[in-house]
Amino acid sequence: GQQLNQSPQSMFIQEGEDVSMNCTSSSIFNTWLWYKQDPGEGPVLLIALYKAGELTSNGRLTAQFGITRKDSFLNISASIPSDVGIYFCAGGSYNTDKLIFGTGTRLQVFP
Amino acid sequence: DAGITQSPRHKVTETGTPVTLRCHQTENHRYMYWYRQDPGHGLRLIHYSYGVKDTDKGEVSDGYSVSRSKTEDFLLTLESATSSQTSVYFCAIRGDRGLTDTQYFGPGTRLTVL
């Protein structure tokens, strides 16, 4: 099935550093979503984007809906140990009831 | 908290036995989804429901069936479990903001088929 290309696959950073990850698709989407998953838990919605060019923040997290509607970016500023987890992007379209998920970015933060 | 519970949270079963997983929501949402999550594959849609008794297949539906007799409950059944169905299963509900809506996930069920 279709999946979004998410990069990087994994990141090992030091506490306090900023983080950037992105998601790209060959198809356009009307919605971009970013989720975080902690070990043993379900994905939790971080940010939802509904309009091309939209830039939305949630605390230290900022996400953008790409102008082409084929990509999205998530930035985390001043990382802390609790940012550890797997981050997933997902794209949605008006003509389907389904989301397409990225393969995930695994983030490790070292003190 | 999206008001989603899954049961059981963990299950170990043997090949060939039937298994039913339950997803329960308290939010009265129309759409509900079942995914499986495996290393290297991310989240893959098994089946989804767009109303009571209305369901459709996802990309990995073989070997699975679903039922939705009440708005709040969405059941996933493995008629005869196989080792390839060892996975973590997540239920999700869809929010109600327009045509393309966000999905909110339950805590998951870890299923092991021996």
Q: Tens digit of pLDDT for each residue in B51-105?
A: 999 999 999 999 999 999 999 999 999 999 999 999 999 999 987 665 556 899 9
Picking from A42, A48, A101, the nearest residue to B107 by CB comes out as A42
User: Can you point out the beta strands (E) in A5-84?
Assistant: 5-7, 10-14, 19-24, 31-37, 44-49, 55-58, 61-65, 71-76
Q: Report d(CA B64, CA B60) in Å as an integer.
A: 8
**Residue B40 in this model has a pLDDT that exceeds 80:** no
Query: Six-digit token pair at A97?
Result: 């009831």
Contacts of A4 (CB under 8 A, 6+ apart): A23, A24, A25, A89, A90, A91, A100, A101, A102, A103
Best of A98, A105, A106 to disrupt the B interface (most B CBs within 10 Å) is A98
Answer whether B111's CB lies under 8 Å from B82's CB.
Answer: no
On the question of pLDDT at B2 being above 70, the answer is: no
Q: What integer pLDDT is reported at residue A95 of this predicted model?
A: 75
Q: Does A98 touch chain B (CB under 8 A)?
A: yes
Q: For residues B19-31, give the mean pLDDT.
A: 94
pLDDT (0 to 100) of residue A93: 85
pLDDT in tens, A61-104: 999 999 999 999 999 999 999 999 999 999 998 778 889 999 89
> How many CA atoms lie within 13 Å of B16's alpha carbon, on the beta-carbon side?
0
**Could you tell me which of A109, A78, A110, A72 has the C-alpha nearest to residue A92?**
A72
Q: Cβ–Cβ of B107/A101 closer than 8 Å?
A: no
In this structure, are residues B66 and B58 in contact, taking their beta carbons and an 8 Å threshold? Answer: no
Quick check: A90 and A101 in contact, CB under 8 A?
Answer: yes
> Measured in whole angstroms, how far is the alpha carbon of residue B7 from the centre of its chain?
10
- So what's the pLDDT on residue A22? 97
Identify the closest residue of chain A to B50 by CA–CA distance.
Answer: A97
Q: What percent of chain B has pLDDT over 70?
A: 93
Please give the residue that has the higher pLDDT: either B10 or B28.
B10
Contact A42 B31 (CB under 8 A): no
Partners of B21 in the β-ladder: B76
